Amino acid sequence: MRLRVAVVGAGPAGLSAALTLQDIGHDVVVYEKRPRVGGKCFSVPAHSMRADMGAIAVAPCSKVAGLAARMGRPLIEFNHDDHPSLARLDLEPVFRNSWELARVAVDLLRFEHHYRDWRRRDVRGEGAQLEDRVSLLEYLEMKKLSRLSPILRAFLSGYGYGFPETTPASYFLAYYDVPRPILLRIQKRCFTIDGGYDALWRDVAARLNVRLSSSVVSIIRGDPCIVETDLGTEKFDKIIFACPPDELKMCLDSSGEERDLLDRVNFVSYHSLAFEGRGLLGCCVHLPDWCRPEQAGRPMLWYRPRDADFCQTWSIAPPEMTKQTVERCIRDSATELGADIGVTISHRAWRYFPHFPLEASAAGARQQVRSWQGRRNGFFVGEIFSFASAEHVVGHAQALMHEFF
C-alpha cells in the first residue's frame, strides 16, 4: 500500500530514511526548519576549497560511500601522505618499538573478541549489560586491555564522543566498526566528500520533496498522524522523527516514559575550528595526550587537506568554556606544535554526541528507546537510536525503513 509519510529533519538520518521510503514507493514529505539541508554536515568556503565544520570522514565501502556513488558525487582521500590515520606524535614511541607494537596487536585481537561477543548480545536485544554499566576506561582495566587506552582514547575523544573516564563502554563498542578496519590494518584509507560533506545531502534532497525553513512545532501520533508546522497542519499515515533529542522533546506528543528518557540525554560541547597558517602539520593527526578532561579545550584531532594553507582542528570543551577561550587554547597549542597561525576562517560550537550518561545507560536507557519504534505510527531515527556519526545514522535509517515499510 502506498503510504503518505512525513519526515521531521533533513540531516543524514532524515534524508536517508526519506530516500529509502521513496525507493520503496511511498509519498514522502521532509520538513526542515533551517533554510539548508545536511544538519551537522556543514561546510564553509576556505580559500578555493571548502572546510567541513561538521562531519568530514567517510569510511570506504560504507553506507555513506554507497550513497555518494549513487549520487555520482566523488570521494577524495582524507590521508594524503604515507602515514595512516593512526595516532602519531604522542604515540610515536609505541609505533617505533616493535615489541610494544606486537603487544598492542595482540591486545587489539583480544579486544576484537570482546567486541564481537558484545555485538552478538546487543543484536539479540539483551537488556543492560556490563558494557552499559562501566566506563570505557574501567572496561579496559577489567579486561586487562589498558595498553589500548591511549589509542582508543584518541579515536573516542578525537571524534567528540566524550572521554573514556565517563563514556559508557557500550558507546565505544557501538562505534568501533568505524575505527576497527584502520586499527586492525584491514584498510588504511579514509575518504571525504569532494565539494564538502553537505554537497552530498543537497544531491539527495534534490530527489525528494523537502520543505525548507518549515519547523515542525507539534505532532500528534496516531491514525492519522497530525503534523503542525509554522506554515499549517497536515495529515500523514506515518511519521519519521529525524531531529536531535533536545529538538524532538519540543514537538513530540511524548508519554511520561519518553519525556523522562529524553530529559536524561547528555551532550558534549564539541568545537571545530579552521584557521590559516604556515608550518602546519600535514594530513590527519591524532593528539592523544590532549584527549583528557584536564586538557579540555586543546585540539585533539588535526587535519590539513592536500595542498591547503589552512588547517582544521577539533576540541572538546566544558559547556561553560567560551568560544574565545577555546580558540585561544587551540591557537596556543598549534603554536606549541610549531605552526605559524593566521586568521580564523570559521569556528563552530556544537551540542554534540547525544548519549545517556552511565547511570541511565546502566538502567537500560539505550535498549528502552529501541522499543519506541512503531508506537502510534511514529518511528525514530538519528543519533540516540543508533550512534552519533553520519555512517551510523544512515545505515540505521535505511535498515529501519526496510524493516517496517
Ligand X SMILES: Cc1cc2nc3c(=O)[nH]c(=O)nc-3n(C[C@H](O)[C@H](O)[C@H](O)COP(=O)(O)OP(=O)(O)OC[C@H]3O[C@@H](n4cnc5c(N)ncnc54)[C@H](O)[C@@H]3O)c2cc1C
Contact status: 84 vs ligand X (CB under 6 A): no
Contact status: 8 vs ligand X (CB under 6 A): yes
Question: Nearest CA to 11 among 191, 197, 268?
Answer: 197
E strand map for 64-126: 75-77
Contacting residue, 277, 311, 383, 396, with ligand X by CB under 6 A: 383
Contact status: 405 vs ligand X (CB under 6 A): no
Contact status: 131 vs ligand X (CB under 6 A): no
C-alpha cell at position 384: 540516540
Q: With contacts defined by CB under 6 A, name the span among 7-15, 20-28, 138-146, 163-171 that binds ligand X.
A: 7-15
Residues 385-404 close enough to bind ligand X by CB under 6 A = 388-391, 393
Contact status: 216 vs ligand X (CB under 6 A): yes
Sign of torsion over alpha carbons 223, 229, 234, 236: negative
- The CA distance from 86 to 78, in Å, is 12
Mark residues 172-201: x for contact with ligand X by CB under 6 A, - for none. Answer: ------------------------------
Residue indicated by cell numbers 563514556: 167
Sign of torsion over alpha carbons 393, 398, 400, 405: positive
CB of 12 to ligand X, least distance (A): 4
> Of 128 and 174, which CB lies nearer to ligand X in the complex structure?
174
Contacting residue, 352, 372, 379, 380, with ligand X by CB under 6 A: 352
Contacting residue, 6, 14, 85, 296, with ligand X by CB under 6 A: 14
End-to-end, the C-alpha distance of the chain in Å comes to 9
DSSP secondary structure letters along 222-290: SSSEEEEETTEEEEESEEEE-S-HHHHHHH----HHHHHHHHT-EEEEEEEEEEEEESPPPEEEE-GGG
Contact status: 40 vs ligand X (CB under 6 A): yes
**Residues forming the site for ligand X (CB under 6 A):** 8-14, 31-34, 39-41, 54-57, 160, 215-216, 242-244, 247, 251, 270, 272, 314, 350, 352, 382-383, 388-391, 393
